[in-house]
Amino acid sequence: MKYSQQIGIVLAIALIAVCYMPWTFIPGRDITISGVSAVGTGYGRPGMLNIILCICAIFFFLVPKVWAKRTNVFIAAVNVAWSIRNYLIVTACYAGDCPEKKPGIFLLLFLAVGVQFMALFPKVNLPE
């Protein structure tokens, strides 16, 4: 794909922005969980690894070498796995308190899969 690297960079930047959006709201405890703030829960900062992996992915999208594109596929796959992990943990019901899912958690999954697809289809000029 001709513009896969540019689209991948835009999606990775959007994923970083989504980590600052609210992901879920727990009404019983009046807690809003985002990727960088989960105060009142034992989650820590669930989106911090997503941010670090997206920064690495942006770097590898910019490097025009075959090894960078192959490494980016791995980085993006770990990002998808971590996003699925965040979805499963942050949206789970605990002790009868079921969180309300916000659009941010769905955007996290969608954008992580988008970054993975863009990493799978790099434009690499191979010498003949």
Is the residue at 105 inside a domain?
yes
Determine, yes or no, domain membership for 108.
yes
Give the total number of structural domains in the chain. 1
**Residue 125 falls within a domain, yes or no?**
no
Task: Please check whether residue 119 is in contact with residue 76, taking contact to mean a CB–CB distance below 8 angstroms.
Answer: yes
Whether 126 is covered by a domain: the verdict is: no
Q: Is residue 75 a part of any domain in this protein?
A: yes
- The closest alpha carbon to 22, from 104, 100, 107, 110, belongs to 104
Contact, 33 vs 22, CB < 8 A? yes
Q: Which domain holds residue 115?
A: 4-120
What are 64-87's pLDDT values in tens digits? 898 999 999 999 999 999 999 999
Total-model pTM: 0.91
Residue 106 burial by CB count (10 A; 0-12/13-18/19+): exposed, middle or buried? Answer: middle
Residue 52: inside a domain, yes or no? yes
pLDDT per residue over 89-104, tens digit each? 999 988 888 899 999 9
In-domain check, residue 21:
yes
